Structure 1
């Protein structure tokens, strides 16, 4: 449906100036409430444009960027991931990763309150419903359809989502962490 509408709008705008002006206004977020008594004359369109109030669109930042930004700010996760680790020994990498991972865990616990999905320890048995969600349970091996299964990994579930509110500009929506500078 959207493709058909887009093609119709394209062709109408190509050959009808008034339609092109209305499409441009609509794309700019101007609310042109239709009035059944108003004519589609250039004067009526100009009057509607002058009295129309632009719809304010709040800038939006992806939840993924917000979460990654929090992990970078608190634990420097992106810095660790992008570091060339080949130049360091395993003990040095482990020493650098430990505080990063601890901070990232605290951030995830604070923002998402992550808990194990299954109540059983690894190796324990759990009941498996016939119509269990594939997002919550994944069979490993050939036992699909059994009424119980042995836990290989308990999985994880977020019990809340409290990502930081973002109020930046739209051109900054993809920024994970700002450049840090100091005076020379």
Structure 2
């Protein structure tokens, strides 16, 4: 900052005379001159105060992390197990084929046994019986319907299984029934027929044989 040059004597004389009349007419100026004479520094000589840091609080929006669950459906290929059910007539033919193979049952039933003696028929029946018994044991689990021995007296309660027990004789009224067990009955609890590679082949109960 440049310091102004000091005025000359005449200039100071002019300033003093002008200031005299100015002080008389301006009370504020007189007060300023009085403070100056008392040793207070002029405002121009006082260094301006250092700027102070002003803290300005600016509202800041709070960022909230929000987790949004989005349901995404992923197409899943549905695997359908293909099951080949054997038709009822095919299963019957398959069983008949087994009885023919093991017991020659079809041969026996198709044969006219009238010309044969009882002994001959009995001998053939023994072979058929043995083969049929083998088929039942290998491919079925057979159990008695009633556990009691034949000839025992049994009581059938209300709601008994009419598909498993057949009433004979003089049937009157409603259950419970009490009677004599004349036959225990049989039921198959498991079936183990061989798996067919060609269901159409089940119709061939016995192949024709050609000897060369």
> TM-score normalised to the size of structure 2?
0.54
Distance 2:93 2:127 in 1: 22
Instruction: Specify which structure has the higher proportion of helix.
Output: 1
**Which stretch has the larger CA shift, 173-182 or 72-81?**
173-182
Distance 1:57 1:128 in 2: 40
Equivalent pair of 1:85/1:93 in contact (CA under 8 Å): yes
| CA-CA distance at 1:60 after TM superposition | 4.8
State the partner residue of 2:206: 177
Out of 121, 125, 134, the position equivalent to 1:106 is: 134
Q: Does 1:155 align with 2:185?
A: yes
**Higher alpha-carbon Rg:** 2
Q: Does 1:66 align with 2:94?
A: yes
Distance 2:193 2:83 in 1: 20
Q: Which whole-Å deviations, capped at 9, do the CAs of 1:114-172 have from their partners, x for residues lacking one? A: 122111121112231211222100101124534433111111111210011111263x3
State the SS of the aligned residue for 1:149: strand
Structure 2 unaligned segments of length 5 or more: list them. Answer: 1-81
**Which stretch has the larger CA shift, 74-83 or 121-130?**
121-130
**Structure 1 outlier segments of 4+, above 4 Å:** 56-61
Q: Which has the higher contact order (CA 8 A, sep 6+)?
A: 1
State the partner residue of 2:162: 134
State the SS of the aligned residue for 1:92: helix
Q: Does 1:81 align with 2:109?
A: yes
State the SS of the aligned residue for 2:99: helix
Structure 1 unaligned segments of length 5 or more: list them. Answer: 1-55
State the partner residue of 1:167: 197
| CA-CA distance at 1:177 after TM superposition | 1.7
Equivalent pair of 2:152/2:181 in contact (CA under 8 Å): yes
Out of 115, 124, 149, the position equivalent to 2:152 is: 124
**RMSD of aligned C-alpha atoms?**
2.3
Q: Go from structure 1 to structure 2 and tell me whether the alpha carbon gap of 1:108 and 1:57 turns closer, same or farther (over 3 Å shift).
A: closer
